[in-house]
Amino acid sequence: MGNISKRPEKRSDQIHELITSVNRYNPENISVLEDYLKEQCNSYSSDSSDLAANLALLKLYQFNPDLINIDAVVSVLAKALTSLPGNDFILCLYLLNEQIINDESVVKILELKDLLENARFELFWEVLSNDATRDLVSGIRGFEDTIRSMIASVIASTHQSAQAQFLELALNLDESELIEFAEQQGWTVSPDNKLVSLPLRDENLAKPVIISEQIPFAQLTKVIGASFEN
Amino acid sequence: MYQDNFEDEFVGDIDVDVVVESYTGADEFEDGEITKEMEDMQIQMALMQQKHQEQIRAGIESIPDHIRDFLLYFHRTFTQGNSSKVAMIYEYQFNKLSEKTYSKTPWPDPRYVSALVNDTGIFLTLYREMYYRHIYSKMQPTIEDRILSFENYCELFNYILNSDTPVTLELPNKWLWDIIDEFIYQFQTFCLYRNNVSKKTEREIETLKSSTVSKSNITKQLYVGVHGGDLIEAAGEYGSCQLYKMLGYFSLIGLLRVHCLLGDYTLALQSLENIDLGNHRALYTRVPACHVTLYYYVGFSYLMMRRYSDATRVFGTILNFVSRTRQYQVKSFHFDVINKKADQMYALLAMCMALSPSRVDEQTHSMLREKYGEQQNRLQRGGEEALATFQELFMHACPKFISPNIPNYDAILAELAKEYDSQAYGDANQAAPALSYNKMELQNYQMKIFLHEVSLQIVVPNLRSLLKMYTSMKLDKLASFMDILPSELHNQLLVFKMRSLQLKFNGGSSLLDGESTVSTDLGFAIDDDVVHIAENKIGRRYADWFIRNNSKLMELISTMEAKV
């Protein structure tokens, strides 16, 4: 989950100027933003997506329905998939309309999104192995790897340790690949390769927190002041 | 203008004969004929003018005496620039007279008022603003009203924004807020009206079609207007002027609202970058209706963005404020608006609390139980029933979304024509469904996305209440309690974890800032085949106790001192 209000390092001055000024409503900029989207899809790194710019593109489509490029919409959505369980995806969805989300390829992306959000990881990989679906995301470099690390982080915040078999299915890896992946992530695999221990962090610690009241001193000034008056 | 000068310089090159030739046509008329025609026209014009004047005189006479006095007084006070009196007239007298004299009819026609006070300037534009606003609130505006009213707003903004020097005009804050508020409201209803073609006659559609030529870029105009106001605020010379400062400021909040209505929650919150929500002396607090509107849209945006804990915080703050200042609001004519918004916010708060349990203050909590207790119980229970309740609350509390685009009138007219044809053949109902498609589509679309998000976590409440009972438990045993497969339970736990990850505002300049936080009162982790569970506890609340006993003690001391 990135912060949308922050400017990504890769955003050029031209794009930044475009999306922060009234210029963002100028339909002539659609092509500029579409090119920028392609750039985002072609670069492989976890912080390559620029949600603010992509939302500006969807906004232009919203105002100019005759200029909608459904392939670009699909790319924006597929790119947003990699940021789950953050809220990028629904922010994009709100800007579309009934007609667009009934488009065949958009329906496929929505299906993938639901599988991920419902934690049906195994099924997700199965659907993705389907040729038609794979084609939709083929334009995005490193799509599978980004999704894999996203799933890994969900599991890492839920589990302290997990069966290797479950991980293999959820991450779509075979035994040796899993061992390699675990090493990258800093996970420890048991000697018999059956159980993987995940490092403890805030999210996967079942530790009760006592929420206590915090009263800043400033709030009590009236009470204290009143006692001096008498 | 430049072109004319340009051509003058080259006059020497023009072939004079050719030019003179084009004049010759004039000789064909006799002098007398033209003079006569001109005389006729003059007589006719004079007649028309006389008739017009008579009409105006009759119009002025039709205004009741006390209203005439009021308007003259209003005009005098306004031109004298007595701003505190203008505020009084605007807030109380105008509304009192509206209620007494014009509860079901419009105020006097602006043309007559113009003749009465002998003024065609800014006073009249502002009067027209009030005149149409009154029509909107008390009657059904016709399409002509809608268009004229909108043009009047454009005129007003042009007057204020497109002048070379700052306009020396001072208006009460409440009025300025109402202008922006109403401008957007009318824009919104116009959009709805425009899209709601099913109920219209052919004539109306034709009018709409021709009017949209000038309206097609209203959205853009609004943005530019607002951005203009925004820039001007920062521009120094203008910024020092109260009118521009407040107008620019209110426009920012207007922008929040428009973005929200278009479903762009990101931009909505972004537009508030310069407004500090935590500051209790911020400008928006000067107009209560503005204060409430601001929080409503911010909270709603957070809710839609799946930042439930932020939404809860925002709604909690403002609802507490509304209930504590209730006694001061009763007199204000904004009271109804505030009440209605507050009620909607309780509904939204009920949803937030169900989606992400957290605490609000006691008073708000008990009000919430009182208003929506039954719905809250249904939301907690989960399942289909909960989804239906979410839908019901959402419909009650959401703003009326708008579409930025104009429907295809030609297609609709063709449909209508077809409908008439088919009516002639006796099957009247066939074309009807095709026409009503647009009416609820927008509302439904935003709701559909939202409800789908909600449906993803519909398993959570049930799971939560079960987990709360244990501190650690085998996965398969827990699954058998729930009567599901262990793999299914494992799945639900992963969903639970994912859904509890939310962005949460933690200070910062933009309302979009936030940190990814686990926001739940229940922590759990899976260790191979065992679930460890830990519930967050809420510590004792000392502050309230301390303050209450403090005042008790002070009372006691003062009674004792009085006795001595």
**Each residue's pLDDT tens digit, B263-288:** 778 877 777 766 666 555 556 666 77
| Local confidence band at B37 (pLDDT 50, 70, 90 cut-offs) | confident
Handedness of CA A33, A34, A39, A41 (dihedral sign): positive
Chain A partners within 8 Å of B542 (Cβ):
213, 215
* Closest in A55, A94, A159 to B526, CB measured: A159
Amino acid, single-letter form, for residue B509: S
* Percent of chain A residues past pLDDT 70, beyond the cut: 88
Q: pLDDT-derived band of residue B196, with 50, 70 and 90 as boundaries?
A: low
CA distance B446 to chain A (A): 6
d(CA B98, CA B74): 14
| pLDDT at position A108 over 80 | yes
Q: Tell me the Cα Rg of chain B.
A: 32
Is residue B306 less than 8 Å (CB to CB) from chain A?
Answer: yes
Higher pLDDT residue, B109 or B423? Answer: B109
Evaluated on CA atoms B173, B176, B180, B183, the torsion sign reads positive
Residue with the bigger pLDDT between B209 and B351: it is: B351
B529 within 8 A of B477, measured Cβ to Cβ: no
CB proximity A208 to B under 8 Å: yes
Which among A89, A113, A61, A154 is positioned nearest to B305, based on CA atoms? A89
- Alpha-carbon distance of A160 to B564, in angstroms, equals 69
pLDDT at B198 over 50: no
Among B270, B498, B509, beta carbon nearest to A154: B498
The model's pLDDT over B220-245, given as tens digits with 9 standing for 90+, comes to 444 545 544 444 444 444 444 556 66
pLDDT at residue number B67: 74
Contact B264 A3 (CB under 8 A): no
- Judged by CB atoms closer than 8 Å, whether chains meet at B456 and A114 is answered as yes
Residue B162: band (very low, low, confident or very high) from pLDDT cuts 50, 70, 90: low
Q: Which residue would you say has higher pLDDT here, A152 or A212?
A: A152
Which residues of chain B make contact with A213, given a CB cutoff of 8 A?
539, 541-543
Q: What is the pLDDT of residue B430?
A: 39
**pLDDT for A176:** 82
Quick check: B538 and A118 CB within 8 A?
Answer: no
Select from B514, B541, B550 the Cβ nearest to the Cβ of A223: B550
Per-range mean pLDDT, top range of A176-190, B101-115, B419-433? A176-190
A157 CB within 8 Å of a chain B CB: yes
DSSP string, A139-187: TSTTHHHHHHHHHHHHHHHHEEEEEHHHHHHHHT--HHHHHHHHHHHT-
Chain B contact set for A207 (CB, 8 A) = 523, 534
Closest CA to B200 of A99, B192, B187: B192
In a domain, A207, yes or no: no
Task: For residue B153, count CB atoms less than 10 angstroms from its CB and return exposed for 0-12, middle for 13-18, buried for 19 or more.
Answer: buried
Count interface pairs A-B at CB distance under 8 A: 158
Residue of chain A whose Cα is closest to the Cα of B509: A5
> How far does the CA of residue B449 sit from the closest CA of chain A (Å)?
7
Task: Choose the weakest-confidence range: A12-21, A133-142, B269-278.
Answer: B269-278
Omega of the bond prior to A85 within 30 degrees of 0, cis?
yes
- Say whether A5 and B404 touch across the interface (CB within 8 A): no
B184 touches chain A (CB under 8 A): no
Element (H, E) at A218: none
Residue A2 belongs to some domain of the structure: yes
User: Which of B218, B214, B263 shows the shortest CA–CA distance to B400?
Assistant: B263
pLDDT for residue B168 is more than 70: no
Residues comprising chain A, all counted: 230
Q: What's the gap between Cα B109 and its chain centre?
A: 27
A223-227, B37-41, B55-59, B437-441 — which one is most confidently predicted on average?
B37-41
Q: What integer best gives the mean pLDDT of chain B?
A: 69
Asked if A62 lies within 8 A of B498 by C-beta distance, the reply is: no
Assigned token pair, B465 = 């209440």
Query: How much is the pLDDT for B235?
Result: 40
Find the CB nearest A94 among B219, B227, B304: B304
Q: Chain B window 523-552: which residues touch A at a Cβ cutoff of 8 Å?
A: 523-528, 532-539, 541-543, 547, 550-551
pLDDT digits (tens, 9 = 90+) for B430-465: 333 333 344 456 667 778 888 888 888 777 777 887
Burial of A96 (0-12, 13-18, 19+ CB in 10 A): buried
CA A71 to each of CA A65, A75, A103, A138: distance values in angstroms, whole numbers, following the listed order: 14, 6, 11, 12
Confidence at residue B541, expressed as pLDDT on a 0 to 100 scale: 72
Q: In this complex, do B537 and A97 lie within 8 Å of one another by their Cβ atoms?
A: no
Residue A206, pLDDT above cutoff 80: no
Per-residue model confidence (pLDDT) at position B417: 57
Q: Is residue B128 less than 8 Å (CB to CB) from chain A?
A: no
Checking if the pLDDT of B215 tops 60, the result is no
pLDDT recorded at residue B427: 42
Chain A residues close to B222, C-beta within 8 Å: none
For residue A146, pLDDT beyond 80 = yes
Residue A209 has pLDDT above 50, yes or no: yes
How does pLDDT run across B515-538, given as a tens digit for each residue? 666 667 777 888 877 888 877 777
Least confident of B66-80, B176-190, B401-415: B401-415
**Most confidently modeled range among A95-109, B9-23, B97-111, B214-228:** A95-109
Query: Are B207 and B145 a contacting pair, CB within 8 Å?
Result: no
By CB atoms closer than 10 A (0-12, 13-18, 19+), residue B95 is: middle
Q: Looking at residue B152, what is its pLDDT?
A: 73
Spell out which residues of chain B touch residue A158, defining contact as CB-CB under 8 Å: 493-494, 497, 525-526
Report the residue of chain B nearest A93, measured CA to CA. Answer: B449
Q: Where are the beta strands (DSSP E) in B349-505?
A: 472-474, 501-504
pLDDT of residue B8: 43
3-state secondary structure of B66: helix
- The verdict on A55 touching B (C-beta cutoff 8 Å) is yes
| Domain at A70, CATH number | 1.25.40.250
Mean pLDDT to the nearest integer, B4-31: 52
Whether residue B440 lies within 8 A of chain A, CB to CB, comes out as: no
Residues of B within 8 A of A167 (CB-CB) are none
Is residue A193 situated within a structural domain? no
In the predicted model, what is the mean pLDDT of residues B400-411?
A: 61
| pLDDT band for position B9 (cuts 50, 70, 90) | very low
Q: How large is the average pLDDT for residues A53-65?
A: 79
> Could you give the CA distance from residue B431 to residue B443 in angstroms, rounded to a whole number?
23
Query: Chain A contacts of B513, Cβ < 8 Å?
Result: 3, 5
Least confident range of B19-23, B166-170, B524-528, B555-559: B19-23
By Cβ distance, the residue of B223, B262, B305 closest to A91 is B305
Whole domain around residue A108: which residue ranges?
1-139
Neighbours of B421 (CB within 10 A): 10
Contact A5 B510 (CB under 8 A): yes
Examine residue A114 and state whether it is found in any structural domain, yes or no: yes
Range in A71-75, A92-96, A170-174, B153-157 the model is least confident about = B153-157
For residue A23, which residues of chain B lie inside 8 Å, CB to CB? none
CA distance B28 to chain A (A): 54
| pLDDT at B437 (0 to 100) | 43
Find out whether B172 and B86 touch, Cβ atoms under 8 Å.
yes
Mean pLDDT of chain A: 77
Please give the average per-residue pLDDT across B216-222, as a whole number. 43
What residues of chain A lie within 8 A of the CB of B525, using their CB? 158-160, 204-206
The pLDDT score that the predictor gives to residue B273 is: 67
Query: Whose CA is closest to B289, among B242, B325, B262?
Result: B325
Report whether pLDDT(A85) > 80. no
Q: Which region holds residue B42: left if phi is over 0, alpha if psi is between -120 and 50, else beta?
A: alpha
pLDDT higher at B123 or B349: B349
Is position A220 within any domain? Answer: no
* CB contact A22 to B (< 8 Å): yes
The count of domains in chain A is: 1
**Among A190-199, B107-116, B503-512, which is the least confidently predicted range?**
B503-512
Is 80 exceeded by the pLDDT of residue B140?
no
Place of tokens 């006073």: B123
Q: What is the predicted pLDDT for the residue at B313?
A: 81
Radius of gyration of chain A (CA): 23
Q: Is residue A88 part of a domain?
A: yes
Give dist(CA B447, CA B437) in Å, integer.
16
- Give A-chain residues touching B537 at CB under 8 angstroms: 208-211
First to last CA, chain A: 54
Inside any domain, residue A10: yes
Residues of B in contact with A212 (CB under 8 A): 538-539
Please tell me which residue, B83 or A185, carries the higher pLDDT value. A185
Average pLDDT for residues B494-500, to the nearest whole number?
Answer: 80
- Phi and psi at residue B504, in whole multiples of 5°? -135, 130
Residue that is written with structure tokens 């926001």 in the block: B519
